[in-house]
């Protein structure tokens, strides 16, 4: 998920009651709710390192345990130096550790809900897990969190102006978290409905071997991907419809096996990308001087816009099938 959503969720978790357990609980939850994304520094390596390491060790249970210990220790040391306010709760190392752990696990759970996924068992296993119900940025969720947390803040400002009893934030925070869970439930229901519609049809006279339904901004509208023995089909799905139309699908026929394709997929970028991709579609074209250009795209991130776009790996091979160049394109930005 985006970092604004992570931050608002951390604030909601704090105001729901953890801020009463120890000083610096809100700061701990906000920092912990964003800390796993420190792996963004891998973009500086100028390779497919971002894809290789993003949502890896810092989004795993092992990494979260280390981050929780580190963050709580730093905040406890900072709290010992800071002068507390008279009404502030006492500084508690155990509760700071709990707050950091809750924020970090919340980050992992939020990222698990979208199609990108997480690798929670790294470094022991690189397997990806994803719920596929939420887009990376969901305006509905941001509205729920913003309204539920913002309205109590405005009411408190008004009560201060009128000299009335100050209102608290706890009800708004609980409402925000309940709204998040309700949205997850609605999207999970329609996700299951969309996947069932995709699986109930044949495509090109072939039964589906695998199906995937991936979220859009509309909870009722999903991007469907179906794999058969010979092709991939990308098509929109209306979760309220009685069926899908296979004839409306964009068809990507699987390439014939070839030495060029094998060599490309064994390259560093190719192997990293294939470890990540769930619906990889490859295209092999003749390159310069008798070489080849092999492009692989993960169709769960769309196919209707043509083959140029995000989540693509491109491997250039010379006439002897040696790698002459390799790039990874993430959201339109190529990374060598």
Q: Write down the pLDDT at residue 156.
A: 56
CA pair distance 263, 296, nearest whole angstrom: 13
CA pair distance 52, 330, nearest whole angstrom: 12
User: Is residue 193 pLDDT above 90, yes or no?
Assistant: yes
Can you list the positions of beta strands (E) in 159-279?
210-215, 221-227, 231-238, 250-253
Instruction: List residues bridging with 225 in a β-sheet.
Output: 212, 234
Q: Write down the pLDDT at residue 89.
A: 87
Q: Which of 157-171, 200-214, 239-253, 269-283 has the lowest mean pLDDT?
A: 157-171
User: Is residue 208 pLDDT above 70, yes or no?
Assistant: yes
Q: What is the pLDDT of residues 101-125, one digit of tens each?
A: 999 999 999 999 999 999 999 999 9
Residue 118 phi, psi (nearest 5): -140, 165
What is the percent of the chain with per-residue pLDDT over 70, rounded to a whole number?
90
Task: Report residue 160's pLDDT band, with 50, 70 and 90 as the boundaries.
Answer: low
Task: Report residue 150's pLDDT band, with 50, 70 and 90 as the boundaries.
Answer: confident
CA pair distance 292, 308, nearest whole angstrom: 17
Q: What is the pLDDT of residues 287-335, one digit of tens each?
A: 878 899 999 999 998 764 444 446 889 999 999 999 999 988 765 444 4
Map tokens 């003749």 to a residue. Answer: 286
User: Residue 274 burial (CB < 10 Å; 0-12/13-18/19+)?
Assistant: middle
User: Is residue 199 pLDDT above 70, yes or no?
Assistant: yes
Q: Write down the pLDDT at residue 334.
A: 44
Which one, of 157, 170, 160, 116, lies nearest residue 301 by Cα?
116
Q: What is the pLDDT of residues 6-59, one digit of tens each?
A: 999 999 999 999 999 999 999 999 999 999 999 988 877 766 788 888 899 999
User: Is residue 220 pLDDT above 70, yes or no?
Assistant: yes
User: Is residue 168 pLDDT above 90, yes or no?
Assistant: no
Q: Which of 48-52, 97-101, 209-213 has the lowest mean pLDDT?
A: 48-52
The HSE-up count of residue 118 (CA atoms within 13 Å, CB side) is: 25
CA pair distance 312, 330, nearest whole angstrom: 7
Coil, helix or strand at residue 242? coil
Task: Report residue 165's pLDDT band, with 50, 70 and 90 as the boundaries.
Answer: low
CA pair distance 316, 334, nearest whole angstrom: 14
Which one, of 269, 281, 280, 272, lies nearest residue 314 by Cα?
269
Predicted structure pTM score = 0.90
Q: Write down the pLDDT at residue 303.
A: 63
Q: Taking the CB of residue 229, how many other CB atoms lie within 10 A of it?
A: 10
């Amino acid at each position: 998920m985006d970092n604004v959503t992570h931050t608002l969720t951390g604030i909601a978790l704090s105001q729901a009651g953890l801020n009463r357990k120890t000083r610096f609980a809100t700061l701990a939850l906000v920092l912990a709710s964003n800390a796993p994304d420190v792996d963004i520094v891998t973009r500086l390596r100028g390779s497919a390192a971002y894809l290789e390491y993003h949502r890896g060790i810092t989004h795993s249970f092992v990494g979260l345990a280390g981050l929780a210990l580190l963050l709580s220790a730093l905040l406890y040391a900072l709290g010992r130096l800071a002068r507390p306010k008279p009404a502030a709760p006492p500084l508690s190392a155990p509760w700071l550790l709990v707050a950091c752990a809750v924020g970090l696990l919340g980050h992992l759970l939020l990222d698990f809900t979208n199609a990108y996924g997480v690798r929670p068992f790294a470094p022991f296993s690189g397997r990806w897990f994803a719920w596929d119900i939420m887009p990376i940025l969901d305006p509905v969720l941001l509205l729920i969190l913003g309204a539920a947390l913002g309205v109590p803040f405005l009411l408190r400002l008004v009560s201060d102006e009128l000299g009335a009893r100050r209102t608290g934030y706890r009800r708004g925070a609980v409402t925000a978290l309940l709204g998040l869970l309700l949205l997850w439930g609605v999207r999970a229901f329609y996700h299951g409905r969309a996947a069932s519609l995709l699986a109930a049809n044949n495509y090109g006279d072939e039964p589906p071997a695998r199906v995937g339904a991936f979220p859009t901004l509309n909870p009722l509208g999903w991007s469907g991907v179906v794999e058969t023995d010979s092709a991939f089909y990308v098509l929109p799905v209306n979760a309220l419809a009685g069926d899908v139309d296979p004839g409306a699908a964009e068809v990507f026929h699987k390439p014939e096996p070839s030495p060029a394709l094998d060599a490309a997929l064994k390259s560093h970028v190719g192997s990293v990308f294939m470890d990540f991709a769930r619906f990889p579609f490859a295209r092999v074209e003749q390159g310069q001087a008798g070489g080849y250009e092999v492009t692989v795209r993960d169709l769960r991130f769309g196919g209707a816009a043509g083959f140029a776009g995000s989540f693509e790996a491109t491997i250039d091979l010379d006439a002897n099938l040696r790698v002459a160049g390799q790039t990874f394109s993430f959201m339109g930005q190529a990374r060598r």
